[in-house]
Amino acid sequence: MNNQFDLLIDSFLENKVGIDAGFLSKDLSNGLQQNIRELQKDDLMTDAGIGNNKVKDSQQKMRGDKIYWMDKTRNNIFEREFLLQVDDFINHLNCTCYTGINSYEFHYAIYEEGSSYKRHKDQFNNDSNRKYSLINYLNENWLEKDGGELVVYHDKTVQKILPQSQTAVFFKSDEMEHEVTKANRDRMSISGWLKRI
Ligand code: OGA
Ligand code: MN
């Protein structure tokens, strides 16, 4: 059966990193980017922390992005559409790969000019609930000179991905080390994790 999600899942199964350059529709990608701009204007995007400590250390230099957690109850039209698409994706993943995902969390992220995120894995040392990472990019016409590449470390090779709008990237949270190189212009995305709790 051919499904809109098979491109992402098949490339993940083949290469450990799934990529679909058209995962989000253009309208949805633009709407979500507009949401970040509004959150930024209202000063609601806040310094991201590391790990899952209740008290975040905003002085840490590991990552420079600012984030805002998504929430279905906010009733924003684009956010709802995005999370419904995530629900559909999880259903398809659970049916085809028996992954048993039963929860998720997503946040908006903006890397302002000069920001980066050093090499890391997404699963916390003290909490293995995060099974898969799903990142969606919201930046039109991103060029190599804009920096802000996602660099994924495979066993013997290094993969670089530009954060182009509509593109989704999908990998196992406990397996793939990755980093975000310094962005030379505002870089917007939605990062999230599919969880088994
Ligand atoms: C993260 C992350 C990568 C990216 O949020 O944990 O690694 O390309 N993001 O935005
Ligand atoms: Mn990460």
Q: Which domains does the chain have, with CATH numbers?
A: 2-195 (2.60.120.620)
Q: State the Cα–Cα distance between residues 14 and 17, nearest whole angstrom.
A: 8
Q: What is the pTM of this model?
A: 0.94
Q: Which of 112, 137, 191 to mutate to test the pocket of ligand 1 (most atoms within 8 A of CB)?
A: 191
pLDDT of residue 123: 87
Higher per-residue confidence, 39 vs 47: 39
Q: How many CB atoms lie within 10 A of CB 58?
A: 9
pLDDT of residue 68: 97
Summarize pLDDT for 119-162 with one digit per residue, the tens. Answer: 999 987 777 899 999 999 999 999 999 999 999 999 999 999 99
* pLDDT over threshold 60, residue 196: yes
pLDDT of residue 51: 65
Q: Are the beta carbons of 195 and 131 closer than 8 angstroms?
A: yes
Q: State the Cα–Cα distance between residues 25 and 166, nearest whole angstrom.
A: 6
Ligand 1, atom 1, residue with closest C-alpha = 191
Summarize pLDDT for 83-95 with one digit per residue, the tens. Answer: 999 999 999 999 9
Ligand 1, atom 9, residue with closest C-alpha = 191
Nearest-atom index, ligand 1, CA of 178? 7
* pLDDT over threshold 50, residue 55: no
